[in-house]
Amino acid sequence: MKPNEQKLLDLLKNNNILMEALEKLKDWPVQEYYIGAWVISQTIRNQLYGKEIMHGISDMDIIYFDSSDVSKESEQKIGEMINKKIGNIWIEFDVVNQARVHIRYPNVFNGRIIPPYQSLEHAIDTWPTTVTCNAIRKLPDNTYKVYSTFWLDDLFSWTIRANKQLITKEIYEAKATKWKKKRPELTITPW
């Protein structure tokens, strides 16, 4: 277990909506999935800074990996299945097959081409900041699997640091400026 991983789990367990989603997905036939990114980091931040647990969380990223079918239709079908399974939770779900991100990436990021991801963990390793490269899933035996690309120190000190694998300097600086305006307590490290 990485340093601070138990602390992470203890704080995430205070987010009843996240825990309900994890509980409902633990027996999902697609065992290789995670809930990750912003819902994880914002849940921690909210507790560290005395905010309501769901403050600033409008959706939940649910990722899975299926390289045998990278069609948009299949991804939409999985999204519909998830919404049926956990749809009574009032939050929106963003369901993404990480095996098809390289197909849609150029449309989202001005034609930029990336190689296909080889796994869920490979995808998480490229997320834009050290505080968002974290994900969790609940296993059928009721234990949790946490994946964190970086040590969790940045997350607990709320230090925003670029993960330079995919993000550009311009995108990072624009995001950092926006985040600092909304959350002055952030420590933003320069590119």
Torsions phi, psi of 145, nearest 5? -110, 120
Banded model confidence at residue 46, pLDDT cuts 50, 70, 90: very high
> What pTM value is reported for the model?
0.91
Residue-level pLDDT at 181: 85
Task: Residue 79: give the domain boundaries.
Answer: 5-188
Distance between CA atoms of residues 105 and 67, nearest Å: 16
112 or 144, greater pLDDT: 144
Residue-level pLDDT at 169: 93
Q: What angle do CA 37, 41, 45 make, to 5 degrees?
A: 165
Tens digit of each residue's pLDDT (9 = 90 or more) over 3-20 = 789 999 999 999 999 999
Tokens 């709320």: give the residue.
158
Domain total for the chain?
A: 1
Does residue 1 register a pLDDT over 70? no
Tens digit of each residue's pLDDT (9 = 90 or more) over 111-141 = 888 999 999 999 999 999 999 999 999 999 9
Mean pLDDT of all residues belonging to the chain: 91
Torsions phi, psi of 92, nearest 5? -80, 145
